[in-house]
Amino acid sequence: MFTGIITDVGTIRKISRDGDTRILLNTLFDTKTIDIGASIACSGVCLTVVDKGDDWFAVDVSAETLSCSNLGDWTEGGPVNLERALKVGDELGGHIVTGHVDGIGEVLSITPEGESKRFYFSVPANLAKYIAEKGSVTINGVSLTVNEVIDEKDKTSFFGINIIPHTQEKTTFSEMKKGDKVNLEIDVLARYVARMNDF
Q: State the 10-residue block means of pLDDT for the chain, 199 residues long.
A: 95 91 97 97 98 98 93 96 87 84 96 96 91 94 95 76 96 97 91 69
Region for 13 from its dihedrals, namely left if φ exceeds 0, alpha if ψ lies in -120 to 50, beta otherwise? alpha
What's the pLDDT at 154? 59
Q: Which fold has domain 8-84?
A: Elongation Factor Tu (Ef-tu); domain 3 (2.40.30)
What's the pLDDT at 44? 97
Q: What is the largest CA-CA distance in the chain?
A: 53
Q: How far apart are alpha carbons 142 and 119 in whole angstroms? A: 14
Q: How far apart are alpha carbons 124 and 42 in whole angstroms? A: 21
What's the pLDDT at 156? 64
Q: How far apart are alpha carbons 163 and 188 in whole angstroms? A: 22
Give the chain's length.
199
Phi, psi of 27 (to 5 degrees): -150, 155
What's the pLDDT at 199? 56
CATH architecture of 103-197: Beta Barrel (2.40)
> What are the structural domain ranges in the chain?
8-84, 103-197
How would you list the strands of the sheet with 148-151, edge to edge? 142-145, 136-139, 181-186, 103-113, 116-122, 157-163, 148-151
What's the pLDDT at 45? 98
